[in-house]
Structure 1
Amino acid sequence: MTIDDAAERGVTRLCRRVVRDEGLPGLSVAVTDGDGVLFADGFGSRDLAGNRPATPDTLYGIASCTKSFAGVALLQLAESGICSVDDPVSAYLPVEFDDPEPTLHHLLTHSSGLPSLGVSETLLARRMRLPDPGVALGDIDDFYAHVNGATDERTDPPGERFAYCNTGYALLGEVVESLTGRPFDEYVAEHVFEPLGMERSTFDDHEFSMADDHMTQYRRTEDGDLVASSLPTRDIGKATGGILAPVSELATYLRLHMNGGEAAGSRVLDANTLAQAHVGHVDVPGRAAGASEQAGDDRTYGYGWFRDESFLGDRTLLGHSGSITVSSAYLGFLPDEDLGVAIASNTSPDFPLGVVGEGVLAAALGADPHESVPFFRQQRRHARLCGEYTAYEGVMDATVEREGNVLQVSFDHPLNRSALPLTPSDPVRESGPQQADVVYRYEHVASDGRREPAAFRVKDGEVSLLIDRWRLRQV
């Protein structure tokens, strides 16, 4: 496959706009097919103080993108006959669960019945010197005690419900050590990094800090400022999000998945074995931005991969985002188009970096991300609707602002200082002499608990907000 000049310009334009509009210090991206890298570049700075540029070889913390590496490791061990993904986790670790016990498969698919137990959040906050709940997690014995103390927290029998659980992947990392006698990071380095020639990829924060081209990681404060931060690596739970890697090498790892277990001249897994990681084993609650309630859940989860069957209409997308507050990443590939993307930044925006990865894939295929990817389509809409509004003769003023993925309207009047979040639904386009050119429909929850409509009407380039008793015109 090739990326033509127009598609390359589209990728570049999108990345530069994201860096500018979202205030990212740096961003690196690599687009690959099954044979090699098609596009790779860096945008912005890997270090603001020295203004050193981000490059495709910059080392970033890839956070939960590590989970698919854990899936590969467990499948390697299962393929060798050392274990089965259907084995109960208690067969290998000193953990206690009531029947029915969760298996390795349930941990891999976040369907063990356990909710988040806060292990990763606690350790990340602790390493960044932020407030944490003070849970005892000083060593592996503390970790097992924490898990065993959560017996009554299980919400469902294994296999019935998806609930993202970092603790499950922390347990999987310990299973790898129990089975091999080697820590998870050492196993992955020897059995995944080395065969694929991923020479710069590491779990070691010292190796990271000594590398010539590594990120300075930034935490965004409540005021929106970027502050250089410590790197929150942790000894417990490396399988949940411990890898530090450049997008140039992550592209090689993607080719492993795109080529049925083989890349860089090495076979890491049999194709049929690796295919288990890509199957959607469990439904993931939720739906894409703007999707109707009737559409239902639209994603499933494999072994470290989310699976979406309706990307850009009817394409299958396998991907995973990751964030450790001071860095973020995304890995994704379209198996039928033989196209993949690795993307990373040295901070974590308010949205998963996966939406940028999806935009890059769309642009690489020649589509406009702002028309074809729900997140960017909604961003464009919100940019159009945000601003200052006023009612007839200035009797009521209001401000519409974007707050995360929703809009918020704030009224400015001595008798009304309220603020209402507006949740979007699909735009309804109407035409005719008495109708708006475009109607964007929203909902808000009134003070009595009722869900009430709001609508933005766009006619001849002018925007009006109809909410409660008011017609507010954008000024």
Structure 2
Amino acid sequence: MARKEVAVAPWETLEAFVRERLRRSRLPGLSLAVVRGEEVAYARGFGFRDLERKLPATPTTRYGIGSVTKSFTALALMQLVEEGKLSLEDPVERFLPLRVRPFGEPVRVEHLLAHTSGIPALAYAEAEIRYDQGTGGRPLALAAVADFVAWLNGAEGWAEARPGERWFYLNEGYVLLGGIIQELSGLSYGEYLRERVLKPLGMEATGFLGEEAPELATPYLVPPEGRPRPGRAAPMAVGSDGALVSTALDLALYLRMWLRRGAPLVGEEAYRELLRPRVPVPGEPLWPGPLGPAQYALGLMVQPFFGRTLVGHGGSVLVYTAHLAFLPEEGLGVAVLANGSGYPLAQIAQAALALLLGEPLEALPFYRLEALGERIFGLYATYGDTLRVTLRPQAGGVELRVEDREAPQSVLLAWEALGEGEVRLRALLGDRALPVAVRLSDPPVLLYERYKLRRVGGLA
């Protein structure tokens, strides 16, 4: 597809988009870089890297990048494959004492890279991260690769599919991959990455959680209501699943490598293997649009985007989030990092790439959904104001709350369809699936159960 020429760089539109999302989500700070070919076309920070001291976020602010680390781990493994030290088809038990054989079949290196081991997530990272932040979870005493091998060896009965059949995101599998890198290279995972990946790319500002570093963003927990509060930038055992810390400008250097088809770190064949889709990722778009179903490759996701191929990966350690995305055909890439959770950074990356392609933001399904929310969220009242109901965003859907000081009732609605002049949703009430509709009139009208309500105000 021929590239649309954009007469003016869309930075003003992008900046307005980002600022509004920060305002809505109350994310403290965010840094962003856009790469076009070999050049950093745009880079800047938004908000604060430290709320208390009012220090601004910049393109050189450091953040934890969570599972974006997985693409680095996959890249490192492919370097070792190119050197003949292993094959993607090798059983993991060749390198580590892994005894798990889902339905009698060995788990291979490729299965861990593509999250197709057949073992559902054991949630070690979720437990450890929440325990470290004081929000839940529990300590698991998994301090080394051998601990993770033992942890997985106890989970044979947890397997749900044969290796290679189905996608189950498995952080623990990427910890084992870090162990394989250590076993074959004689270096720790961190040493290997510094020598073989970070140093050749000039990524001098990239390190690991728990290390002292200048301009490190204060990590924040962002509750649904109230002010963000500082969290902890806690280190992670091994770290090959999500422990890297980086900046927007350093990730721009990393993106340039991907846009050069892996050079100078891996050759053409390895690059193609890394980006070759292996397995569908569960979840379908709500409505037809430019973003097609996603598939997982090796440490990266791949999906259609305005007729191109969108490659990327997100990451979260709760108090830091990140997203990396690029369009190989167009030579365009985006890195987004934030010091909190609250707004999907993948959507900011998609907005930036759409604007660079000359496509309207309104074509993006999530943008349409947000615009729709602006129209329908708010306070509704029946005839005579005898009953009041609030619609607000909640958990990727919509919360319908019957207002009552003593006994408010709350129902979660799922988006179902956007019709002509009407939004259709669905509520689950016990054993009933109840259709709900919002007529996009002025003002909007809500039809819920036996009630008709008109919007009388916005959200507080």
Match of 1:36 in 2: 39
Aligned ranges 1:358-437 → 2 under 5 Å: 358-369=350-361, 371-412=362-403, 417-429=408-420
Contact 1:287–1:296 (CA under 8 A) maintained in structure 2: no
Q: Distance in 2 between matches of 1:361 and 1:143?
A: 38
Aligned ranges 1:64-463 → 2 under 5 Å: 64-98=67-101, 99-203=104-208, 205-208=210-213, 211=214, 213-221=215-223, 223-236=225-238, 238-262=239-263, 267-290=264-287, 298-309=293-304, 311-312=305-306, 314-349=307-342, 351-369=343-361, 371-412=362-403, 417-429=408-420, 438-447=421-430, 449-459=431-441, 461-463=442-444
Contact 2:426–2:433 (CA under 8 A) maintained in structure 1: yes
Match of 1:468 in 2: 449
SS in 1 for 2:240: helix
Question: CA-to-partner distance for each residue in 1:129-173, whole Å, 9 max, x for gaps?
Answer: 443334342444432221111111111000100011101111101
Q: Distance in 1 between matches of 2:349 and 2:141?
A: 37
Shift of 1:344: 0.2
Shift of 1:291: 5.0
Contact 1:290–1:425 (CA under 8 A) maintained in structure 2: no
Question: CA-to-partner distance for each residue in 1:80-103, whole Å, 9 max, x for gaps?
Answer: 100001101111012112231111
SS in 2 for 1:400: strand
Q: Distance in 1 between matches of 2:262 and 2:405?
A: 65
Shift of 1:367: 2.9
Instruction: State the one-letter code of the partner of 1:154.
Output: A
SS in 2 for 1:206: coil
Instruction: State the one-letter code of the partner of 2:277.
Output: G
Contact 2:291–2:303 (CA under 8 A) maintained in structure 1: no
Unaligned 5+ segments in structure 1 are: 430-437
**1:334–1:455 distance in 2 versus 1, CA, 3 Å:** same
Q: Distance in 1 between matches of 2:130 and 2:390?
A: 34
**1:362–1:113 distance in 2 versus 1, CA, 3 Å:** same
Q: Distance in 1 between matches of 2:407 and 2:381?
A: 14
Shift of 1:364: 2.5
SS in 2 for 1:5: coil
Cα root mean square deviation, aligned: 2.2
Q: Distance in 2 between matches of 1:387 and 1:204?
A: 41
Q: Distance in 2 between matches of 1:204 and 1:442?
A: 42
Q: Distance in 2 between matches of 1:18 and 1:222?
A: 14
Question: CA-to-partner distance for each residue in 1:355-405, whole Å, 9 max, x for gaps?
Answer: 221112122223332x12222221111121111111122232211111132
Shift of 1:411: 2.0
Contact 2:210–2:234 (CA under 8 A) maintained in structure 1: no
SS in 2 for 1:239: coil
Contact 1:6–1:366 (CA under 8 A) maintained in structure 2: no
**Percent pairwise identity:** 33
Instruction: State the one-letter code of the partner of 1:121.
Output: E
Q: Distance in 2 between matches of 1:128 and 1:56?
A: 26
Q: Count residues with an aligned counterpart.
A: 451
SS in 2 for 1:207: coil
SS in 1 for 2:212: helix
Contact 1:289–1:375 (CA under 8 A) maintained in structure 2: no
Match of 1:63 in 2: 66
Shift of 1:126: 3.5
Shift of 1:224: 3.9
Contact 1:443–1:451 (CA under 8 A) maintained in structure 2: yes
Unaligned 5+ segments in structure 2 are: none
